[in-house]
């Protein structure tokens, strides 16, 4: 079962009213999880490249983005007594991390690093999903 399917089932079983669009919430939770995983894989792949020294910035942004995405996904999954201000701040931080990581990975993808191409795509997807959810919270 995918993270989106698990999230959907858990939100459907939630015993209280959920005041945010469930589709946007599920999309964002799944995008955060996918991005965290892609960034972790990308950092590991970068560490296996012949010229690791030229990839230090990429590895750093991968790891930062993975941590921010994982934390964001966990926090927005919690609905009991949710603090919209904290959720919005995390979504903004996640968008910033995804933007930085996506840009860094795109620069390496242009030189044939497929793992960076995949990571950049997942970062863009997560940035967009976080933006949609943050917009719905306004």
pLDDT tens profile 24-58:
999 999 999 999 999 999 999 999 999 999 999 99
**Full domain range(s) for residue 38:** 23-137
- What is the pLDDT at residue 138? 63
Question: Sign of the C-alpha dihedral, residues 14, 18, 24, 25?
Answer: negative
In this structure, the dihedral spanned by the alpha carbons of residues 13, 127, 96 and 77, taken in order and rounded to 10 degrees, is 0
| Mean pLDDT of the 78-84 span | 80
pLDDT for residue 15: 82
Q: Is there a domain that residue 15 lies in?
A: no
Does residue 105 sit within a domain? yes
Per residue in 2-11, pLDDT (tens digit) is 988 988 887 8
Contact by Cβ (8 Å): 59, 44? no
Question: What mean pLDDT is predicted for residues 81-87?
Answer: 86
In this model, does residue 131 exceed pLDDT 80? yes
More confident residue, 12 or 55: 55
- Residue 18 falls inside a structural domain: no
Q: How far is CA 71 from CA 47, 48, 66, 77, in A?
A: 24, 26, 9, 10
Q: What is the pLDDT of residue 10?
A: 78
CB atoms within 10 A of CB 10: 13
Alpha-carbon gap, residue 133 to 138, rounded angstroms: 9
Determine, yes or no, domain membership for 8.
no
Number of domains making up the chain: 1
Q: Percentage of residues in the chain with pLDDT exceeding 70?
A: 99
pLDDT value at 82 more than 80: no
Residue 6 lies in a domain: no
Residue 95 lies in a domain: yes
Q: Is 51 inside a domain boundary?
A: yes
What's the pTM? 0.93
- Domain of 36, CATH number, reads 1.20.1270.360
Residue 80, in any domain of the structure: yes
């Amino acid at each position: 079962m995918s993270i989106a399917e698990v999230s959907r089932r858990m939100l459907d079983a939630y015993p209280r009213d959920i005041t945010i669009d469930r589709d946007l919430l599920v999309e964002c939770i799944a995008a955060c999880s996918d991005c965290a995983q892609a960034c972790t894989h990308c950092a590991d792949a970068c560490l296996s490249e012949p010229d690791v020294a030229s990839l230090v910035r990429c590895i750093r942004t991968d790891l930062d983005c993975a941590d921010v995405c994982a934390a964001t996904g966990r926090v927005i999954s919690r609905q009991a007594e949710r603090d919209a201000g904290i959720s919005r701040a995390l979504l903004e931080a996640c968008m910033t991390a995804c933007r930085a990581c996506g840009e860094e990975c795109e620069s390496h993808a242009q030189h044939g690093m497929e793992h960076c191409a995949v990571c950049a795509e997942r970062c863009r997807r997560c940035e967009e999903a976080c933006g949609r959810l943050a917009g719905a919270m306004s």
